[in-house]
Amino acid sequence: MPGLDLFTPVVDASRFHPNFRNFLGDSEKYVRDVLQQWAEGFMDRDGKFVQEFQTSFNSCFWELYLFACLKHLDLPVDLSFGAPDFVVTAFWNEFSIEASIASNADDEPAEWERDLRKLKNLDRERVLDEATVRLANTLVQKHSKFLQSSSKHRHVADKPFVVAIAPFEQPFFEVQNDQAMRRVLYTYDRPLPKSQRTRQPSKAHHVYIEKIRKRNGTEIDLGFFLTKRMPEISAVIFSNTATAGKLRALSKDPNPHIWFRTLRFNKFGDEAFMWGVAKPDYFESLLDGLHVFHNPHAYHRLSPSLFDRQGVTQHFYVEGHPWPPFMATHGALIQRTVVTMRVKK
């Protein structure tokens, strides 16, 4: 099945989303090619997808990325259903995915309204707290939607149900890594500094956060997967690296002045490692930076074998374990920054 024509305008240019507009220049041909590849086989079920891609962008971008990942994982998708977004029909491993994004609060700047001059003094803790609140709100909304409507579909009932959330809730959202989502689902925040640990490994070596306060003073209870609060949700798929940087990494852009700076998982030490390299020497896979958080209290468990691939990190919760265990390959992508320089004609 041919893909959608994403970039022929179907709305007036005044309605273009800033992120869509950024991809229209001659130098962006290579990232457009990647997006068109992602869209191959995708079905516009309501006839509005291209319009929404050009006017709202982020949610459509996330859907296209998920669709590309499912194709890469050889997981067949039946797009004939109106909802949820993806119904996977793998033999003995049928499950469905509802895709969503965390967006900015009404009185806060949108993710594309970033001032690079502020990056040097960025308050990562503030970014992390805002991400925790917005991700929690999004997951609560999707859980409510499942109870009200999604659960009533015959093709959804009695099978694993997954919520896929991408963070687009603020400028520089990518620096949250997977930390905010770990807070939301398992209350796990971070390990203590080595200087504050005893010799014997224990839960006391790690920081857990059970509540977070919104700006209006309301507190949100975290740890959605620690009890049977959301047993209908089998897992959460997440990525803070499914961005324009992913397109640049996968593209065939010959420009040598594209610089990638990444933070990657170190399987052989306590600290993640930084890697900076120009595009001709850089490699990143489609699945790099994808996270799957499993719900130990789910009515229908999602099989970890479905996502057992290089670059994918899978998270679990085991009662009594000092921290939520995870499976990740050495070098798995945690965070990425891309700087692109163009030579003027």
Residue 218 bridge partners (DSSP): none
Cβ–Cβ < 8 Å for 177, 114: no
What pLDDT shows up at residue 90?
Answer: 86
Domain ranges across the chain: 13-255+284-329
Residue 99 bridge partners (DSSP): 164
pLDDT digits (tens, 9 = 90+) for 238-289: 999 999 999 999 999 999 999 999 999 999 987 899 999 999 999 999 999 9
C-alpha to C-alpha distance for 17 and 256, rounded to whole angstroms: 28
- CA geometry: angle at 249 spanning 40 and 165, to 5°? 65
DSSP characters for 99-164? Answer: EEEEE--TTS--TT---GGGSTT--HHHHHHHHHHHHHHHHHHHHHHHHHTGGGSTTTTTS-EEEE
344 pLDDT more than 90: no
Average pLDDT, the chain: 92
What pLDDT shows up at residue 322?
Answer: 87
Q: Scanning the structure block, which residue is given the tokens 């041909």?
A: 29
Torsion 151-156-160-162 (CA) sign: negative
Q: What is the pTM of this model?
A: 0.95
Instruction: Tell me which amino acid residue 52 is.
Output: E
What pLDDT shows up at residue 198?
Answer: 66
DSSP characters for 130-147? Answer: HHHHHHHHHHHHHHHHHH
Cβ–Cβ < 8 Å for 316, 325: yes
pLDDT digits (tens, 9 = 90+) for 63-112: 999 999 999 999 999 998 988 999 999 888 899 999 999 999 888 899 99
- CA geometry: angle at 291 spanning 67 and 91, to 5°? 50
Cβ–Cβ < 8 Å for 85, 97: yes
3 pLDDT more than 90: no
Helix runs in the chain, H state only: 18-22, 29-38, 49-55, 58-72, 124-148, 179-186, 244-250
Burial 49-83 (b: 16+ CB within 10 A, else e): bbebbbbbbbbbbbbbbbbbbbbebebebeeebee
What pLDDT shows up at residue 91?
Answer: 81
pLDDT digits (tens, 9 = 90+) for 136-147: 999 999 999 999
The share of the chain scoring above pLDDT 70, in percent, equals 96
Helix (H, G, I), strand (E, B) or coil at 165: strand
319 pLDDT more than 60: yes
DSSP characters for 259-294? Answer: EEEEEE--TTSSS-EEEEEEGGG----TTTT-EEEE
- CA geometry: angle at 35 spanning 51 and 163, to 5°? 75
Q: Scanning the structure block, which residue is given the tokens 């049928």?
A: 94
